[in-house]
Amino acid sequence: MLGYAPRVRRLAIRVLPAITCALLVASTSTAYAWRALFDSGQFAGRAAAALQDSRVRDAVAARVTDEIVRRHPDLLTARPVVVSAVSGLVGGDAFSSLFRRGVRDVHGALFRGNQDTLTLTVLDVGVVVAEALRVLRVLRRDLASEIGAREPVALLGRDLGPVPGDLVRLARGVRILAVVPALLAVAAAAGLFVLSADRRAAAARLGLAVTVAGVVIVMAQAVARAVVLDRFDDPDARAAAGAVWDAYLGDLRAAGWLIAGTGAVLAASPRSQSPTN
């Protein structure tokens, strides 16, 4: 039986870096998802940040304009001017604040599981739009007052069915997965150093594993982005979707490169510390 111990030890030394790599990818991805996608404040902030992209602004402006023109057919002939004015508003602080508040409220309601219909409305947007159009002299005074007094503009409406309950369960699972793999990754890395007689070689193996984990995260993010955007046939819609993707998941790519760089430094450090004769 004792003869198997060295074999098991050598096998563990070879396997533990791969296990550490896989756990690091899992923990980083789930921790990022928990922070960027499941936290209402973070989710709303990234949604508002996406408005800084001109393609996203144009898409939101077109949706707001369609809603306003539907309520006020007199504005149909002035639609291009209205779209231009609303597009400028969408990138401003006033609309961004209203939009962030609306997204945060909808996100919180979904993850509380107390509604099965997603309706994203922007409160008081009529007031903001009416004021901008009044300055441009596109609206009559009475029509401007009417728009300003209207109900909030609905930007998105979807019947989600059982999705909210699934999201609640997914959020709970992601919270656990954000912690457990990280602890296991630390344990696997520690086990590698405990079992290795050559600590420098162990550090090099661990550095390589961390580097690979970072590269895997970057590549997975890039592949997923390409797959999602390939579903959009319209070039403008694809560009806007790409901007939204980057607002939410662009930092994950940066995190992957940071992890890869850290691993490369760790892998190279034993060589730089080797004794010289």
pLDDT over threshold 70, residue 133: no
Average of per-residue pLDDT values in the chain: 77
Q: Write the pLDDT tens digit of every residue in 77-116.
A: 767 777 777 777 777 777 788 778 878 877 777 766 555 5
Q: Take residue 172 and report the two structure tokens written for it.
A: 């709970």
pLDDT at residue 18 is higher than 90: yes
pLDDT tens by residue, 25-83: 999 988 888 888 778 888 888 888 888 888 888 887 777 777 777 776 766 776 777 77
Res 1: pLDDT: 42
The CA-based angle 187-188-194, given to 5 degrees, is 85
Distance CA 10, CA 2 (A): 14
Tokens of 92: 């401003």
Rounded to whole angstroms, the Cα distance separating 188 from 23 reads 9
Which one-letter DSSP state was computed for residue 74?
A: G
Burial of 259 (0-12, 13-18, 19+ CB in 10 A): buried
CA angle 100, 104, 109 (to 5 degrees): 155
What does pTM read for this prediction?
0.73
pLDDT of residue 277: 41
pLDDT of residue 209: 94
Of 158, 138, 160, 133, nearest to 148 by C-alpha is: 133
At residue 176's C-alpha, the angle toward residues 172 and 181, to 5°, is 150
Asked whether the predicted pLDDT for residue 141 surpasses 70, the reply is: no
Q: Is pLDDT above 90 for 215? A: yes
The listed range with the strongest mean pLDDT (94-103, 117-126, 140-149, 157-166) is 94-103
Residues 6+ apart with CB under 8 A from 133: 82, 85, 139, 144, 147
pLDDT given for residue 164 in this prediction:
46
Q: For residue 80, what are the CA distances in angstroms to 35, 139, 252, 270?
A: 39, 14, 37, 64
User: pLDDT of 162-185, one tens digit each?
Assistant: 444 555 566 666 777 778 888 999
**Per-residue model confidence (pLDDT) at position 162:** 46
Q: Nearest 5 degrees, angle CA 28-CA 31-CA 32?
A: 80
Whether the pLDDT of residue 10 is over 70: the answer is yes
Can you tell me the mean pLDDT for 118-146? 56
**Helix locations, the chain, DSSP H:** 4-36, 40-50, 54-71, 79-90, 93-112, 125-135, 141-148, 163-195, 199-229, 235-272
Which one is predicted more confidently, 20 or 234? 20
Whole-angstrom distance, CA of residue 138 vs CA of residue 130: 9
Mean pLDDT of 3-11: 72
